[in-house]
Structure 1
């Protein structure tokens, strides 16, 4: 992967600049990004539909489907961490008008959380990815692999693991380089605050690619509870997901599983190490860490 401007040892943008708007600030990645930026001394506006409190931030209400919330969220902001609405297969419909308004209000840097499975110009948030470099001189698109938190948080997989000891996917024996949300947030914080924006498409992975059967084996070894992977067809996975989300979105996610069966996610990158200076967390270490924090409450659910 081509090197990008700015490294873990580079200078960061001055904290005296405008605030960073973090969309989805109560979510799996957004919450971690907000907390990391606060710890680094940056002013953070934490946006969510309910404007819930995030320690050390300015909580603001933001709803992609309510343009009346845009102006308040953008007040005093010069950088934005973008998380697409999770209930739409065509997020560009609402995101692009918001980004045009953000640019007009003085936002100079935008970092988009996308997906390793969706290239520029691809479906869903891929349309926003394609448009971003034309909207902002300073930009980055983070394309993380599937979240480790999907197996330990409040995702469908995590619930079926806890309730039944089963992971159901249409991914077959395909391997995925699952990544910890903490590592994604570390990359995002660097992209938002580095002296120079990456200006690049960054695929973010964990250190190894695992099949879901191997994931189940690690969970079994670390937790001491038997976990197995049960392979579904594309149609079975689509219908299972459609019980809790719109059919079009369920079909897209099931399609990503099917692509994984064909090896679409069977690769690793050095993005985390190159931008943050530390190696990404392994899945075994993630599970052990999640077990230690169970008493402190369940993690927010992941979307990928």
Structure 2
């Protein structure tokens, strides 16, 4: 690839993809709605403003695609962008999807078939839940920091949490030109953990007692709504926890190793890197 466009270039995964590719000599153009001081290859890009598409994709061979997260049905905007990109010469797109998203006629599930249909070389990445959710500003991390508590409706369901750095490495290898494997690209960490088990690891690594409290889907929906989230979206988010409780994420794949040649980082190692001095989350 001569030039790769990274949408969501300032986000959790996008900035890691940009770093991976630049470290290997790839020309990277990052894109977001706001300027990035010091990044001379950054372009202003807004999913709600199709007039920003042409400048973003000009001369671009590959795209790391992060769909607009605020749009419940983003197919129209993404389809217009893909048409502009392919017309400009883009051949390969790596779409960041989710292991919780299945192909569907509408919503986020419409994006994987859309990308496969319109792009000559399409890779759909379906990562499990991010380890990053346990640090920083995410509600899970906030609960750990403020109350020593993780609240979910997952029961004893397990998740093979994944380091965003491993997702970026997979995307980077594919955008660097690695062959796109056949079949689903489900990305997981090396171990599936329940939130009880994850809380125990957080407690051990940080030195702060952390517990997991399991509540009902209805209670979680109400709690999410209290944070200002619309009811339907809150219900959808809580429903994902119910699916975890039913075993939807209790799986481990070798996709990260198969594509990058390296084992994915464990949850414990991720936390040790995030809290080297045993600080609270």
Give TM-score, length-normalised by structure 2: 0.94
How much does 1:133 deviate? 1.6
Match of 2:138 in 1: 155
Tell me if the contact between 1:48 and 1:62 (Cα under 8 Å) persists in the aligned partners.
yes
RMSD, aligned α-carbons: 1.9
1:201 Cα deviation after fit: 2.8
| Separation in 1, partners of 2:61, 2:233 | 32
Q: Which consecutive segments of 4 or more residues in structure 1 shift more than 6 A?
A: none
Distance 1:167 1:21, change over 3 A: same
2:53 to 70, 95, 118: 70
Structure 2 gap ranges (5+)? none
| Partner SS state of residue 230, structure 1 | strand
Note if 1:262 corresponds to 2:246: yes
Secondary structure class of the residue paired with 2:61 = strand
Higher relative contact order (Cα pairs below 8 Å, separated by 6+ residues) = 1
Say if 2:189 is the partner of 1:201. Answer: no
Q: Does 1:239 align with 2:225?
A: no
Native 8 Å contact 1:138 1:199 kept in 2:
no
Q: Does residue 50 of structure 2 align to residue 50 of structure 1? A: no
Contact 2:205 2:278 in 1 (8 A): no
Aligned equivalent of 1:37: 21
SS of 2:102's equivalent in the other structure is coil
Structure 2 Cα separation of the partners of residues 286 and 20 of structure 1: 28
Shift of 1:241: 2.2
In the other structure, the counterpart of 2:77 is: 94
Q: Does 1:179 align with 2:162?
A: yes
Q: Take 1:111 and 1:276, find their aligned partners in 2: how far apart are those partners?
A: 15
Q: Give the structure 1 partner of residue 209 of structure 2.
A: 226
- CA displacement 1:31-82 (0-9 Å, x = unmatched): 1001111111100111111132475x61111111111211121122121111
Counterparts of 2:105 and 2:215, CA distance in 1? 25
1:77 alignment partner, SS class: coil
How many residues are matched? 279
**Distance (whole Å) between structure 1 residues aligned to residue 237 and residue 91 of structure 2:** 32
Q: Which residue of the partner structure matches residue 277 of structure 1?
A: 261
CA distance in 2, matches of 1:213, 1:28: 25
Shift of 1:191: 1.4
Structure 1 residue aligned with 2:9: 25
* Structure-2 residue corresponding to 1:107: 90
- Cα distance in 1 for residues equivalent to 2:126 and 2:115: 14
Displacement of 1:199 in angstroms is 5.5
- Secondary structure of the residue aligned to 1:248 is helix
